[in-house]
Amino acid sequence: MDGYMVEYNNGEEQRLKKIRSAYSRMGLAYLVFFVTAAVCQVAAMAALAGVRDVIGDGLYALLGLLSMYPVAFPLCCLVAHTVPRRGPSWQFPVGGGRFAAIFVICLGAMLVGNLIGQLLMLVVSLLTGQPMVNNVQELILDMDPWSILVAAVIIAPILEEMMFRKFLLDRVACYGQLTAVLMSGGLFALAHGNFYQFFYAFALGIIFAYVYLRTGRIRYTIALHMLVNFSGSIVPILILRCIERNMMLGSVLMLVWYIVLFSSVIGGIVLLIVGRKQIWFYRMPRKVPTGRWLMTVCVNVGVILFVGYSLVSFLLS
C-alpha cells in the first residue's frame, strides 16, 4: 500500500509539473510579445520622428501602434505553440438574441470597471498630489477616428482574442476551466499596463474567455471585442466632435449615450441574475487540486516574469 501511495504521489507531482510548465510557457509567450512590442514601437517611432510633421500626429501614432505586431505576434505564436493544444470542450452556437444579451453585459462591465479605475486613480492623485493622466485616453484623442478604427476596433481585437483566448484556453482549459477563465481575464487585464483599464479589461476578459469556451468559436469573442472597443472609443470621439460643431445636438447625444451605458449596467445585472444557472463549468479530469492551484498556475517562471513586467508598466504609467 505504501508503495502504491508513493507511486501515486510521484505521478501527481509529475502531472502538476506538466501543468506548471504549460502556464509558465504561456506567461513567457506574453512576456516575449510585450517586450518585443515595446522595442519595435520605440524603434518605429524614432525612425518616423523625422517625418512626423509631414504625416501628422494621427498617422504617426497609428504606425507606432501597428509596428509591434509584425514581429511580436509571430514570436508569441512560436512560444505558445510549444504547449500542446487540446481545444475547448464546448461547441454550443450563440444565436442573435443571446449574443445581444452578452454584449449588454459587456457594456455594463466596461462602464463599471472604468468607473472603478477612474475612482482608484482619483484617490491616488489625491494622496500623491499628482494629476491624473490617462495616457491611453490622451493617445486616442490625438488620433483620428479612421486610425482608431483600424488599430483599436479591427486589428487589436483579432490579435488579442487569438492571444488571450484561443492560444491560452486551447492549451490550459483542460487543467481546469474556471482557473483558465480567471487567468485569461487576469493576464489580459495586466497586459493593458495601467489601472484605468485594468478592472474593465479583467471583467471583459472573463466574459470573452467563457464565451470562447462555451462556443469553441473565436469569431464570437472577436465580434464582441470589436463592438466593445467601438463603443468605448469611436462613439465617444464622434460625440465629442459633434459637440464641437453643435453644442446642443452633441449634448443630447452624450446624454443618450450615458443613458444607454447606465441602462446596460442594470440590464447586465438582470441578465446575469436570470441566466445564472446557465453559467457552469465542466469538471475536468486533469483539474489542478484546489490547494495546489496557486503554486501550480501562478508561481512559475513565465507567469511571474510577465506579472513583474506588467507591474513595472503600471508604475510607469
Which whole-number Å values give the CA distances from 208 to 15, 148, 182, 223, 287, in the listed order?
28, 21, 11, 10, 21
pLDDT at 4: 44
Give the integer Cα–Cα distance in Å for 190 and 310: 6
Q: What is the pLDDT along the chain (317 residues), one digit of tens a residue?
A: 545 444 445 677 888 899 999 999 999 999 999 999 999 988 888 888 888 777 777 777 777 778 888 899 999 999 999 998 876 666 777 888 899 999 999 999 999 999 999 998 888 888 887 777 777 776 676 677 888 888 889 999 999 999 999 999 999 998 888 999 999 999 999 999 888 889 999 999 999 999 999 998 999 999 999 999 999 889 988 898 888 888 888 889 999 999 999 999 999 999 999 988 888 887 776 777 777 778 888 889 999 999 999 999 888 86
Question: Model's pTM, two decimal places?
Answer: 0.91
pLDDT at 133: 73
pLDDT at 76: 94
Domain ranges of the chain: 2-316
For residue 69, what is its C-alpha cell? 505586431
Which single residue is written with the C-alpha cell 445636438?
Answer: 249
Give the integer Cα–Cα distance in Å for 75 and 163: 11
